[in-house]
Structures are given as structure tokens and as C-alpha cells.
Amino acid sequence: MSASTTPIDRVAAKPSDPFRHGPNYARRYWVFAMPAAIVVAAVIVFPWIFTLFMSVHDWKVSGAVPFVGMANYAKMLVDDRFQWAIVRTLIFTAASVIAPVILGVWAAVCFASNFRLRGLARTIFILPMMATPVAISLVWTMMFHPQLGVLNYLLSLVGLPPSAWVYDSATVIPTLVMVETWQWTPLVMLIVLGGIASLPSDPYEAAILDGANTWQMFRHITLPLAWPFIVVASVIRMIDALKAFDTIYVITLGGPGTSSETLNILLYQTAFAYYDLGYGSAMVVIFFLLILLISILLLHVRQKQAFQ
């Protein structure tokens, strides 16, 4: 090799590594990716394909499974119980998102300020979301008891009449929303608090110099800058509220009657109590499309706000 050859020329003159280019590289890559692809296909892809397959069949626990096409989906259009379950699901979800988001944003603003024992207060505040939903539901069930529950005793101390709580169709949904709000407001607070902690201090310093008060700084600085984090918290809370099952099932079993029967409870009863797996699978497909549609709408709002 010539003495005038530079190191760059010598590197460029080297033949390309056959394992980094061409079919050999692709084969080596798939050796590592294949286990993950198999797990994803087994855990996610196959169950969805099988659910779609069952939804177009009259699938019972025993006997033949004739193909019925879109009959299970058409049945939903005339099924009053399914339609009311959709309405209750949307009402429960909307209330279970709005209340925790409002309280969570307020708590995040409070915990963002400096005060004594702030760390201890934060720790106590996030304790509800550390417990399992089933354990929380059992505790709240005892508290809701009309005669022995502590909540009615507390109402009597302030001169209020006792409430039926989850034993009355008029109050069961608000009561369940109260449980969801108590448990998941800390999650919203943590997400929004992380966003507030990352905000620049310059706008606040300028606002103080201009004589802005606390509400004006929150309305015109904190809320717009923290809005993307609030939307993320709302999306997470919305998906979780739509999927809520264990809290409702443990406390009310969908009752009294069907007053708290959300779509999750109904499809569970249809598939595993009435053993109509085909109709239950069709409900799952519609439920998934409902979650997907609402999530896309919320993410669209977030992106639209980000580009403004």
C-alpha cells in the first residue's frame, strides 16, 4: 500500500461487513426479534383474531358453532340492555375523568408550592392508588352499608339523613364515581405535578412584576403550559375508566338490578354467566372500537393544542 494513503482511504478501501449489509444482516436481526414477535402474536394478535372469529359465530359453550355473519352485531341495535350499558359506561367514564382531573390539577398546583411537610403530604395523598382495587372495593362496601356503614354515621353527626349509596339506582353511579375519584386522583396529580415542575420560571417572574395574582398566573400561565400533561392524564384516566370492572363488580355486581351495569359487566355476564361467547365477543369488538375512537379524539385535541 502506498505511503501516501491516509487512514480514511484505508478504511474506505476495506470491504463492507457482510453481516451488516444485505440478507445476512436481516437474518441475524430476526434471530433476536423473533422471540418478541412470537410473544406479541401469542398474547395480542391471536386473541384478537380469535375474538373476531367468535363474534361472527353463534358460539356457545357446547354444541355446534354455526357461522352467523353480522347477526351478533345486528342484535346490539335492538338490544335495550346493551344500549343502556353503553349510556351508563359513557356517563360513568365522563364523571370518572372530569372529577379526578379537576381535583388532580388542583392538588398538583398545591403540591407544587413550598410548605412544611410537603413530602409527607404527597406520600399520604398517593396512598389510595397503591392498594388493589378489589381490597379498596371491599372496604368501601362495608362503609356503604345502610345500617352499619361509617358513612351514614358521619352524615348523622352533621344532621344529614342517611343515604342508600350503592343500594339505590339513583345514587349508585355517583357513588361508584366517588370511589374511582378517591383512588385515581393521585395519579392525575403525579402526572400534572411532573409537568408543572418542568415549566420555566421566567413567565411567573414577569407576571409577578406585572402585579398578577395567583389565579391570574394559574389561568394564563400554568394551565396553558401544563395543558399537554393534563390531556395525557385525561387519556390515561379515560381508558382506565372505560375498562373499570373490578370495582363495580365487587361493590354492586352491576346492581341494583342493572343500574350500574356498564359494558364491561354486561359482556362478562353475557360470556361467562349466560355462556353466549359469540355475542360477548361482538361486544368486545365494539368496546375496543369505542375506546379507540375516544382515544384518537383526545389525542387529536392534544396535538391540535400543541401546534397552536
Using DSSP's 3-state secondary structure scheme, residue 239 falls into helix
The pLDDT value given to residue 11: 46
Over the stretch 121-167, which tens digit does the pLDDT of each residue have? 999 999 998 888 899 999 999 999 988 899 999 999 999 999 999 99
| Exposed / middle / buried, residue 182 (Cβ in 10 Å: 0-12, 13-18, 19+) | middle
Compute mean pLDDT per 10 residues along the chain, 308 residues long, and list them: 52 49 63 82 86 91 85 93 94 95 95 87 91 91 91 92 93 95 95 92 89 90 91 89 92 92 93 90 91 81 66
pLDDT at residue number 305: 63
Q: CA-to-CA distance for 41 and 285, rounded, in angstroms?
A: 18
pLDDT of res. 7? 52
Q: Does the N-terminal peptide bond of residue 47 adopt cis geometry, omega within 30 degrees of 0?
A: no
Query: Per the structure block, which three cell numbers stand in for 121?
Result: 403530604
Q: What is the pLDDT of residue 19?
A: 47
Residue 26 has, within 13 A of its CA and on its CB side, a CA count of 2
Q: Can you give the C-alpha Rg of the chain in angstroms?
A: 27
**Distance from C-alpha of 207 to C-alpha of 92, rounded to nearest angstrom:** 39
Structural domains in the chain? 7-55 (no CATH), 73-306 (1.10.3720.10)
Q: Which residues pair with 258 in a beta bridge?
A: none
**Count of Cβ atoms closer than 10 Å to residue 268 Cβ:** 17
- Cα separation, 105 vs 186, whole angstroms: 10
Sequence-distant (≥ 6) Cβ neighbours of residue 128 within 8 angstroms: 136, 182, 183, 184, 185, 186
Identify the residue whose cell numbers are 398545591. 110
Amino acid at site 268? Y
Bond into 256 cis (ω within 30): yes
> What local confidence, expressed as pLDDT, does residue 110 receive?
92
Residue 172 to residue 130: CA distance in whole angstroms = 24
